[in-house]
């Protein structure tokens, strides 16, 4: 049975509920995506890169852990693909990340895991004149979002369009994609992922073009998604927040429970 905690300031309880309910993946895989179990790990295949989800404690140590890590690396190496092992700051054993590094995994930027009450996040700021927030489902809009994300991050994020398209097609009730537009241009985008059977929904995306930052647009998309979540009876919103987003979310009432760092192995890095 899922653990429910209250109040939101019970950080230990929130962290325990997060570990129990939010580690893993949504229940409906997009077309072409498969889930495979390898001991304590859930391996996700068929995305733009592989993904490994682990419990808080993988339950193995030393040489056995090294072999478990090597199996994931070698599995995706055989496919010619990169793979991300998502770690949290409170994971066990304590030397997990050292062993990931030794196997050739490289850490990306850490983020802060934040949790807040959905019903408290639905108050939207006044948007700048001409900016409109709406929910989108059309393929063309997903490609516009991917182009905006590519501009924000200075990388090719074209894969994101197909990812969002396939997730909406797999279960349109499980994901809500939102954009803020100005003059027909996508200036900010974010999505809400529902997790049936849990107290949580996840806030993802939340990127804004540099020229539109500091004007309440990011907060407006948080509020729009929080309103959708609260209407569905979701209690908690969870975010993996960048250094730029975390202060905004803290001011809105989110609480930090841990950190998360992706460890990535890529064929070119070995």
pLDDT at position 8 is 64
Same domain? For 78 and 165 the reply is no
Q: Are residues 125 and 57 in the same domain?
A: no
Task: Determine the Cα–Cα distance for residues 166 and 32; give it in Å rounded to an integer.
Answer: 9
pLDDT of residue 4: 54
Report the alpha-carbon distance of residue 92 to residue 95 in Å, rounded.
Answer: 8
Q: How many domains, in total, are found in the chain?
A: 2
Strand ranges (DSSP E) for the chain? 34-38, 41-45, 50-53, 83-88, 106-107, 111-117, 131-136, 175-182, 185-194, 200-208, 236-241, 255-265
Whether 75 and 123 map to the same domain: the answer is: no
**Alpha-carbon gap, residue 225 to 142, rounded angstroms:** 17
Q: Residue 18's domain spans which residues?
A: 11-110+261-269
Which CATH number does the domain housing residue 16 bear? 3.40.630
Instruction: Determine, yes or no, domain membership for 61.
Output: yes
The verdict on 64 and 37 lying in the same domain is: yes
Q: Does residue 5 lie in a domain region?
A: no
The tokens for 169 are 């097609």
The dihedral over CA atoms of 201, 81, 141, 196, expressed in degrees to the nearest 10, equals -20
Q: Are 173 and 238 part of one and the same domain?
A: yes
Residue 106 shares a structural domain with residue 121: no
Whether residues 248 and 182 share a domain: the answer is yes
pLDDT of residue 75: 98
Q: Is residue 3 part of a domain?
A: no
Q: Say if residue 35 is in the same domain as residue 86.
A: yes
Q: The CATH number of the domain where 239 resides is what?
A: 3.40.630.30
The closest of 255, 257, 267, 241 to 110, measured between CA atoms, is 241
> Could you tell me if 122 and 75 lie in one domain?
no
Which 3 state secondary structure label does DSSP give 262?
A: strand
Distances (CA, A) of 210 to 87, 187, 217: 29, 9, 12
C-beta of residue 204 within 8 angstroms of C-beta of residue 191 = yes
Look at residue 251 and tell me if it is in a domain: yes
The pLDDT assigned to 233 comes to 97
120 plus 243 within the same structural domain: yes
pTM above 0.85, yes or no: yes
- 67 falls within a domain: yes
Please indicate, yes or no, whether residues 123 and 21 belong to a single structural domain of this protein: no
Say if residues 219 and 212 touch (Cβ distance below 8 Å).
Answer: no
**Paired strand residues for 241:** 112
Is 97 contained in some domain?
yes
> Does residue 231 lie in a domain region?
yes
Same domain, 39 and 123: no
pLDDT computed for residue 239 by the predictor:
97
Per-residue pLDDT of the chain (270 residues; tens, 9 = 90+): 455 555 566 999 999 999 999 997 777 889 999 999 999 999 999 999 999 999 999 999 999 999 999 999 999 999 999 999 999 999 999 999 999 999 999 999 999 999 999 999 988 899 999 999 999 999 999 999 999 999 999 999 999 999 999 999 999 999 999 999 999 999 999 999 999 999 999 999 999 999 999 999 999 999 999 999 999 999 999 999 999 999 999 999 999 999 999 999 999 844
Ranges of H-type helices in the chain: 11-21, 62-79, 96-102, 139-153, 159-170, 217-231, 245-252
* 1 inside domain: no
């Amino acid at each position: 049975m899922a653990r429910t905690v209250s109040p939101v300031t019970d950080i230990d309880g929130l962290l325990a509920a997060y570990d129990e309910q939010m580690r893993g993946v949504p229940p409906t895989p997009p077309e072409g995506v498969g889930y495979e179990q390898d001991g304590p790990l859930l391996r996700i295949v068929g995305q733009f890169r592989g993904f490994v989800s682990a419990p808080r404690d993988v339950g193995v140590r030393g040489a056995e852990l090294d072999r478990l890590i090597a199996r994931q690396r070698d599995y995706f190496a055989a496919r010619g693909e990169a793979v991300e092992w998502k770690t949290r700051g409170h994971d066990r054993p304590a030397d997990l990340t050292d062993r990931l590094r030794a196997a050739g995994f490289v850490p990306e930027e850490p983020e802060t895991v934040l949790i807040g009450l959905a019903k408290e996040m639905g108050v939207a700021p006044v948007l700048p004149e001409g900016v409109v927030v709406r929910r989108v489902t059309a393929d063309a809009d997903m490609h516009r979002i991917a182009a905006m994300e590519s501009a924000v991050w200075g990388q090719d994020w074209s894969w994101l369009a197909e990812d969002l398209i396939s997730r909406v097609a797999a279960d349109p009730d499980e994901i809500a994609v939102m954009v803020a537009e100005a003059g027909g241009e996508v200036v900010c985008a974010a999505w809400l992922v529902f997790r049936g059977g849990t107290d949580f929904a996840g806030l993802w995306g939340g990127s804004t073009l540099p020229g539109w930052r500091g004007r309440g647009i990011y907060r407006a998309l948080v509020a729009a998604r929080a309103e959708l979540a609260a209407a569905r009876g979701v209690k908690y919103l969870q975010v993996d927040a960048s250094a730029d987003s975390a202060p905004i979310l803290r001011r809105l009432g989110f609480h930090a429970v841990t950190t998360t760092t992706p460890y990535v192995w890529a064929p070119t890095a070995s």
